[in-house]
């Protein structure tokens, strides 16, 4: 009797990722095709733990924002994710959906990343990090709206 042995390797292995990419994926279009295939697989009726783990991630990868919103807004899915170990992921998906940016192509995402990198480099000359710059921006906005500390306490 021949026993079947299965070798399980962690996907953190960069060498393994490269082999999978070269053998099976080959291009970003093909990558999206695989993600769509997995979206169809995990989009079966009814929330279950594995679906809650996988479906939102694949929806983000193929930029299906409306389906992502419907998925994380489903009450049963929300409950499974919120009460289990996926609470952090659930909150990240909601943050992404509410705060963006929600790009529809790789090119737009790359252009945005490049502009943010340039902005960060120019900000380095002023000594501000991202959090400090965001805080100052929020304070400026609050001041323009007349939101003083005294008024906020009322």
Same domain, 116 and 148: yes
* Domain co-membership, 124 together with 70: no
Tell whether 121 and 135 lie within a shared domain: yes
Residue 116 resides in a domain: yes
Alpha-carbon distance of 34 to 41, in angstroms, equals 11
If asked whether residues 78 and 149 sit together in one domain, one would say no
111 inside domain: yes
Per the domain annotation, does 3 fall within a domain?
A: no
| 60 is a domain residue | yes
Instruction: Indicate yes or no: pTM above 0.85.
Output: no
Number of independent structural domains in the chain: 2
Q: Report d(CA 119, CA 88) in Å as an integer.
A: 29
**Residue 4 forms part of a structural domain:** no
Range of the domain at 62: 9-102
Q: Is residue 1 part of a domain?
A: no
What number of helices (H) and strands (E) belong to the chain? 9, 0
Digit-by-digit pLDDT tens for the chain (154 residues) are 566 777 776 667 788 878 888 888 888 888 889 999 999 999 988 879 999 999 999 999 999 999 999 999 999 999 999 999 999 999 999 999 999 888 888 888 888 888 888 877 766 666 666 777 777 777 776 676 666 666 555 5
């Amino acid at each position: 009797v021949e026993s079947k042995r299965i070798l399980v390797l962690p996907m953190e292995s960069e060498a393994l990722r490269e082999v999978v990419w070269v053998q099976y994926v080959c291009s970003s279009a093909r990558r999206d095709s695989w993600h769509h295939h997995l979206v169809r697989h995990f989009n079966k009726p009814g929330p279950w733990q594995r679906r809650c783990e996988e479906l939102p991630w694949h929806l983000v990868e193929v930029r299906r924002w409306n389906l992502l919103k419907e998925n994380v807004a489903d009450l049963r899915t929300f409950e499974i994710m919120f009460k289990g170990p996926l609470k952090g992921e659930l909150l990240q998906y909601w943050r992404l959906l509410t705060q963006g940016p929600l790009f529809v192509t790789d090119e737009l995402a790359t252009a945005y990343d490049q502009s943010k990198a340039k902005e960060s480099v120019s900000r380095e000359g002023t000594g501000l990090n991202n959090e400090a710059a965001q805080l100052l921006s929020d304070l400026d906005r609050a001041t323009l709206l007349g939101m003083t500390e005294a008024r906020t306490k009322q």
